Structure 1
Amino acid sequence: MTGGGHRFFMAVEGWLESEREQLPLWIPVGLGLGIGAWFSLPNPLEWLGFCCCALAIACGGMMLPAGGRLRQSMILGGLLAAFGCVLIWCKAVAIGSAPLPRAIFMEVTGEVRTVDAVPAEQMSRVKIRPIGTAGLPPLIRVNMAAADVPDGLGRGAIIRFRTRLMPPAEASLPGAYDFSRRAYFQGIGATGRALRPITVLRPSTDGPPLRNRLFAHILEKADGDGTGIAAALATGDQGAISEADAEAMRRSGLAHLLSISGLHVTALIGAVIFLLMRIMALSPRAALNWPLMLVAAAGGALAGIGYTLLTGAEVPTVRSCVAALLVLGGLALGREAITLRLIAAGALVVLLLWPEALVGPSFQMSFGAVIALVALSEHPRFRAFAAAREETGFRRLMRHLVILLLSGFAVELVLAPIALAHFHKAGMLGAFANLIAIPLTTFVVMPLEAIALLLDVAGLGAPAWWLTGRALELLLMIAHGVAASPWAVVTAPVVPNFVFGMMVLGGLWCLLWRSAWRWCGLVPVAAGVAVIVLSSPPDILVTADGRHVAVREQDGSMAILRERAGDYVRDMIAESAGYEGTLSPIAALPEARCSIDLCMVAVRGGGRLWQLLVTRTGVVVPRESLQRDCARADIVIADRRLPAWCRPRWLKADRRMLARTGGLAIDLDGGTVRTAKKAGDAHPWVVQPSYLPSRHKSYQLYRRSNPASLP
């Protein structure tokens, strides 16, 4: 090793030695890098290549001098990354359910596994294990209208119905929600809607699960507009919350209150410990001879585990439960428990058991928020400011409000990149809304709801439910008031995965180290922010089926092809475009010329006008007209296969191409096209494209007797 290399090596060793207490925090990060690589890289050859590179790093570390921190870090980091990739790969092979290859219409007979009511949408979601039907996945999920749900439907029932089954929905636009990936790990291979009549061949003999019974009980007893939120706080099921209220909670930064997480688990465990301590202290014998804290901690742990199981054991709940158990263990042993090591242990448990959770917003936002809070609480200046002291009640109150506000700002700052990456919008006023909402939920709503449930045993819960309803109405008033502000959220178009990963690693670098070198993590964070701010939003968006097309107008507003597109499609397009306004119809644009079947739209981008031709209906167009219009267009988009003689000047996105690429986001300024699917993506939830024969009538655009070409 040369003199300069030796000095650099010794400098790194000295730095790692000073950070030796922080090194274990990077164990789940190393494991997560391998898991993230498996999701990001498209095929087994590249997964294997990543594992080989990770092992090569570990082998390189073995060549360094023995006993050094850098040697240990390289060996362990390489092994963890390789193990993470192999772990998620093996789990995908072992427990995943391959999707249905194509849509089919058929009669299904199956055994009901679960029934989840969604009152806000007037339906139920039913998971079914098909019986005696070859070629179907082992588990399917169908929606049933509330009016069609038959008597006797429940776990163990055998039913028969007609349905059109489809593969779980993939991301319809670049960066949009990919349900197919989540469905794969849940074992769901097909989805559909059950059609009447739905015949119950064998009724269920099991009663509804406790969670479902509690959910129905709260909906029956709770009072006011916040009934759905009351049910979500107790069971984790958000199916009864209206879309307007859910959107207001998201825009105001209060959506975390609806997901059972650290706030809820901590409040429950704290209440149980408080009650047990007070009850046991009433006995002199227990107070003098029993280890009260140990007994109360054990009771709180059992309550936390029961609450986690009752609410469905989602990732935030499991993380919170694991963290709470570690805290209780630390308190029982007389040690400081609320540390970043506790968070790292919780993350490690979740990643080992549910590695697929890493790429979901729930895991990222849950751990991001708690890492930000604990890192802030461990900072010496913040700890000194938050320490208890002799002061007046007003000064104490104001100091606690400042602490809560600073904590809210830290959480919002950390969660903003995650929210922009997954939802293309991030809250700006959540820290202020949470100043009132968190104490209101923790110290008013949840205790009142718990009292109401206890009083319901004797049929006396009505007054407590009335008070709960008024408190929830206040919470909704705060949410809607903050959400209505024009500064409530900031939007952004799709964030590239590498930019998001760069910002996450930079943020972790800042939060997990303690020396001055931690601030080097601000460089990738700042670079990611610059990319987001400077990136131009797409000018044209095309969904994976080619039916829905949106274009950006000169004033920045957006227009959509089909006026009757549903709210889900409109919201998805607006979010992917980073647009907050209303989508107007393309046919109403002055630069559009539309017939019954086609629309030609002039879109400005890159310093010129682009002619965009899109199909509007399923009818065919005469060859002469279509060939002429294709030649005049720069871009042609169709929800069917176009013949070879349709040749636009730049891009032809028809059914055949969209089957390979998925949805498109077209940037005319840069002349780039982003696709929802990666070329050669071999992940097991990706349905490989199949093409209908060219003789299919929907492809024969040139065989129409009544022409309706563009004027």
Structure 2
Amino acid sequence: MRVAIETELERGAAFLLVPVFLAIGALGYFSFHAEPPFAPLVTAFGLLAVLAFLMRTNRLAHYALAAAAICLLGMAMAKIETDRMATRMLGATISAGITGRVVEIDSLDNGRQRLTLDILATERPVLRYAPDRVRLTARKLPDGVTAGSLVTGYARLMPPSGPVRPGSYDFSFESYFDGIGASGFFMKGPELVASTDPLPATSQAAAWVANARDRIAQRIRDRVGGAEGEIAAALVVGVRGGIPEDVNEALRRTGLYHIISISGLHMAMVAGTVMLLTRLAFAAFPAFASRRPVKKYAASAALAATGGYLFISGAEVAAQRSFIMLAVMLTAVLFDRAALTMRNLAISAIVVIVISPHEVVGPSFQMSFAATAALVGAYAWWSDRREQQAQPVVQRSLPSKLWRWLATVAAGLVATSLIAGLATSVFGAWHFQRISPLSLVANLAVMPIVSVLVMPFAVLAGLFMPLRLDGIFLDTMGAGLTAMIALATWFSERSPVDAVGLMSTHSVVLVTLALVIGSMATTWLRLAALPIATLALLLLMNAEAPDAFVSEDARLVGVPVGEGKLAVNRTRPSQFTVDNWKRALVSEDLIGPARVAPASAANPKQNIGQGGSGRSGGDAAFSCTDGLCLIEHPSGMHLAHAENAAAARRACGIANLVVVNDATARNPCGNAAVVVLTSRALARLGSAAIFLRPAQDGARQDVEIRHAVATPYRPWHVQRAFSREARGLPPYRRDSRRPGASEPASPAR
């Protein structure tokens, strides 16, 4: 083993682990329950770096200290990014007049428009801590509104929401690092306002790019039309809001959604198409091509083309990450280095982590680098194997060569899809609680269409669009997208249930470790990945499933009541929240509440089980009357949801847990045997997962509550403390006799 480790170190394994330890440091920072101060991080990093330098003669101590120092460096960079963003987040929902500068306009699939605005002023009321940037939807826009325009209107502003359950996607976190302090919709307006103040140069440039993207997207929609036109616009300029939701869902269920999100796949196809066209152009001049490094010229052209693609596609973080990876590889070609190496991938990862440390916690970063690392590692292994097993040159006929080439291409597609799918499936299942059972066959069927008909002709359409000669290329692209949608729909209709439930974090850590070892090691040490991966598979579904979920607004409670069934207390619950809960609990059927006669309200326990038909006859359901809903959990314990303190008191002698949708209520039961969860606690600490512990073996029954948000607050959650619900106040009602009177929806700082 010592010899193998020495060999790995000589081949540069230490450098390959630098981004790994940087990512560990960033993940550690974002997983802290409290905000760490900056000075101790920097001091500890400096101390460990000096110790690592002094201990360079002791290899084990040197590498251990260096790894710890790099982890602290990752934490420090994440802290710097967090402090640098300092996004002003709205504290509570409020209606106000706003005036702002349009940054971006997105067309949605329901016909509405979504505007990203830089807030310049607020009125009725004047917000004392207004967000700097918001996203608002509008039914329609007045003529002449473009990026850079000044608009005004009356809008409903809402703070970014937290996770719909503990461990789920945190909209507040993403909004904080996107610089978005609130979202909402226009209740009146918007109206275009004449502006005499000139825009700063940077704002003018950003507005020009945004308007150019809008014009290109509209031209593509007009030519291609339908869902194909929306997907084509997404592939070219990165606007995905107009894609119909049924098409989005078909792509998700079949594992094809990565196609419409600009990533490494698209960057590689653009670069490959440009390199091919450039090499073909040089081939027309053999005398010149034989004397010049045309491969480097083609790589330079590809680098410029992908840079332009990044620019016109909106430069989203995922696209930036993909461009960095591709730019490093193309730069390697310019210096006569191999492009597809783990070292180049490590350089790309280091650059990405330094620029955006917060990306390491997201599925996009993890799945992108997992797939790329697995593919590069497999490519390196296959190349070494071919070198060790050199085959003699055999003369073959033209048909034999053709069949052999086709077989090689087919095997390459299968291997690529299989390796990338296996590398990313665990991360996708961990983040989204779903997998795509038909992903492999769907990708094998669709990717040739995307590679031959869609992306190359998208590049050609972009090149010829300034000359107005892009029509035939867009038509070809549209035909390819029609075939892609048809195949995605066909596979989606035949796909089995894709929900997998909650996964163990330990298993994901072990999978990551196995992936790092398997892709980076070049000696027999890569075999160590096999037992680690096996252990990860054994622990995969070892996560404890909650017995109930409660939404952060205290309005919705979900209880699993049987195999694949989820009971909720509302007839029309939030579809997004319910879908997330169903995937986490592997539930297919939703059971609505049963309304019982008010006469039985005097004895609520009689209501439990009455009319349990819900939406699926015979299944347990919430029994609701006069603001109180009750349900018996399969464990025998009872849960209640009350709209106010008075309704909650009726459940105090029955339920083990009472959820009260009333921020002013403290503990209406006053009984230690009953756990009360109010909307004030949920507003402060976010959605909740409930774990019921029935009485057994002499132990008393208990209710454990795990919230999505920890205190003290991290910077992206600070605003939660300033909502009316978090302060124990009732919902605000504007006094119509006092025009403009309103309470600020933000802290009075």
Q: Which residue of 2 aligns with 1:645?
A: 668
Q: Which residue of 2 aligns with 1:656?
A: 680
Q: Which residue of 2 aligns with 1:28?
A: 19
SS of aligned partner of 1:72: helix
Structure 1 residue 575, shift from structure 2 partner: 2.8
Alpha carbons of structure 1 residues 517 and 347: separation in structure 2 relative to 1, 3 Å: same
Deviations 1:296-315 (A, max 9, x none): 22111111111111112233
User: 611, 624, 640: which one pairs with 1:613?
Assistant: 640
Structure 1 residue 40, shift from structure 2 partner: 0.4
For residues 711 and 76 of structure 2, what CA distance do their matches in structure 1 show? 22
SS of aligned partner of 2:17: helix
User: 590, 608, 628: which one pairs with 1:598?
Assistant: 628
Structure 1 residue 289, shift from structure 2 partner: 4.3
Q: Note if contact 1:36-1:359 (Cα within 8 Å) is conserved in structure 2.
A: yes
User: 365, 368, 380: which one pairs with 2:367?
Assistant: 365
Alpha carbons of structure 1 residues 344 and 381: separation in structure 2 relative to 1, 3 Å: closer
Aligned ranges 1:261-410 → 2 under 5 Å = 261-283=263-285, 286-380=288-382, 384=386, 392=400, 393-410=402-419
User: 689, 692, 702: which one pairs with 1:668?
Assistant: 692
Alpha carbons of structure 1 residues 409 and 614: separation in structure 2 relative to 1, 3 Å: same
SS of aligned partner of 2:633: strand
Structure 1 residue 242, shift from structure 2 partner: 1.2
User: 660, 683, 708: which one pairs with 2:715?
Assistant: 683
For residues 515 and 301 of structure 1, what CA distance do their matches in structure 2 show? 34
Q: Which residue of 1 aligns with 2:449?
A: 440
Q: Aligned partner of 2:676: which letter?
A: K
Alpha carbons of structure 1 residues 383 and 492: separation in structure 2 relative to 1, 3 Å: farther
Q: Aligned partner of 1:266: which letter?
A: A
User: 547, 567, 585: which one pairs with 1:539?
Assistant: 547
Q: Which residue of 2 aligns with 1:162?
A: 154
Q: Does 1:42 align with 2:30?
A: no
Q: Which residue of 2 aligns with 1:80?
A: 70
Unaligned residue ranges in structure 1 (runs of 5+): 1-10, 700-711
Superposed CA RMSD in Å reads: 3.1
For residues 645 and 323 of structure 1, what CA distance do their matches in structure 2 show? 58
Structure 1 residue 159, shift from structure 2 partner: 1.8
Alpha carbons of structure 1 residues 570 and 56: separation in structure 2 relative to 1, 3 Å: same
For residues 58 and 591 of structure 1, what CA distance do their matches in structure 2 show? 60
Of the structure 1 ranges 447-456 and 342-351, higher mean CA displacement relative to structure 2 is found in 447-456
SS of aligned partner of 2:562: coil
Structure 1 residue 46, shift from structure 2 partner: 8.3
Q: Which residue of 2 aligns with 1:193?
A: 185
SS of aligned partner of 1:326: helix
Q: Aligned partner of 1:340: which letter?
A: M
Q: Does 1:144 align with 2:137?
A: yes
Q: Note if contact 1:425-1:578 (Cα within 8 Å) is conserved in structure 2.
A: no
Q: Which residue of 1 aligns with 2:202?
A: none
For residues 130 and 56 of structure 1, what CA distance do their matches in structure 2 show? 45
TM-score between both structures, scaled by the size of structure 2? 0.83
Q: Note if contact 2:661-2:679 (Cα within 8 Å) is conserved in structure 1.
A: yes
Alpha carbons of structure 1 residues 13 and 352: separation in structure 2 relative to 1, 3 Å: farther
Q: Which residue of 2 aligns with 1:586?
A: 593
Deviations 1:98-148 (A, max 9, x none): 31222222111222222233245633232223236552445232322242x
Alpha carbons of structure 1 residues 108 and 136: separation in structure 2 relative to 1, 3 Å: farther
SS of aligned partner of 1:165: strand
Q: Does 1:517 align with 2:525?
A: yes
Of the structure 1 ranges 308-317 and 181-190, higher mean CA displacement relative to structure 2 is found in 308-317
Structure 1 residue 317, shift from structure 2 partner: 2.4
Q: Aligned partner of 1:80: which letter?
A: I
For residues 14 and 51 of structure 1, what CA distance do their matches in structure 2 show? 35
Q: Aligned partner of 1:610: which letter?
A: M
SS of aligned partner of 1:131: strand
SS of aligned partner of 1:107: strand
Alpha carbons of structure 1 residues 590 and 427: separation in structure 2 relative to 1, 3 Å: closer
Structure 1 residue 194, shift from structure 2 partner: 1.6
Alpha carbons of structure 1 residues 467 and 686: separation in structure 2 relative to 1, 3 Å: same
Q: Aligned partner of 1:601: which letter?
A: I
Q: Which residue of 1 aligns with 2:88?
A: 98
For residues 55 and 413 of structure 1, what CA distance do their matches in structure 2 show? 39
Q: Note if contact 1:114-1:128 (Cα within 8 Å) is conserved in structure 2.
A: no
Structure 1 residue 332, shift from structure 2 partner: 3.0
Of the structure 1 ranges 555-564 and 119-128, higher mean CA displacement relative to structure 2 is found in 119-128
Alpha carbons of structure 1 residues 511 and 192: separation in structure 2 relative to 1, 3 Å: same
Structure 1 residue 677, shift from structure 2 partner: 1.1
SS of aligned partner of 1:668: strand
Aligned ranges 1:50-65 → 2 under 5 Å = none
Alpha carbons of structure 1 residues 456 and 475: separation in structure 2 relative to 1, 3 Å: same
Q: Note if contact 1:110-1:160 (Cα within 8 Å) is conserved in structure 2.
A: yes
SS of aligned partner of 1:476: helix
Q: Does 1:477 align with 2:489?
A: no
Q: Note if contact 2:89-2:131 (Cα within 8 Å) is conserved in structure 1.
A: no
Q: Aligned partner of 1:152: which letter?
A: G
Q: Note if contact 1:13-1:70 (Cα within 8 Å) is conserved in structure 2.
A: no
Aligned length: 677
Structure 1 residue 387, shift from structure 2 partner: 9.2
Structure 1 residue 292, shift from structure 2 partner: 1.9
Q: Which residue of 2 aligns with 1:706?
A: none
TM-score between both structures, scaled by the size of structure 1? 0.87
Alpha carbons of structure 1 residues 87 and 595: separation in structure 2 relative to 1, 3 Å: same
Q: Note if contact 1:43-1:683 (Cα within 8 Å) is conserved in structure 2.
A: no
Deviations 1:569-610 (A, max 9, x none): 33232233333x2422032254543214111111113xxx01
Alpha carbons of structure 1 residues 296 and 454: separation in structure 2 relative to 1, 3 Å: closer
SS of aligned partner of 1:127: strand
For residues 705 and 39 of structure 2, what CA distance do their matches in structure 1 show? 29
Structure 1 residue 272, shift from structure 2 partner: 1.5
SS of aligned partner of 2:570: coil
Structure 1 residue 477, shift from structure 2 partner: 1.8
Structure 1 residue 424, shift from structure 2 partner: 1.2
Q: Note if contact 2:558-2:569 (Cα within 8 Å) is conserved in structure 1.
A: yes
Aligned ranges 1:87-236 → 2 under 5 Å = 87-120=77-110, 122-131=112-121, 135-147=128-140, 149-202=141-194, 209-236=211-238
For residues 28 and 368 of structure 1, what CA distance do their matches in structure 2 show? 13
Of the structure 1 ranges 259-268 and 448-457, higher mean CA displacement relative to structure 2 is found in 448-457
Q: Note if contact 1:16-1:70 (Cα within 8 Å) is conserved in structure 2.
A: no
For residues 284 and 365 of structure 1, what CA distance do their matches in structure 2 show? 43
Q: Which residue of 2 aligns with 1:6?
A: none
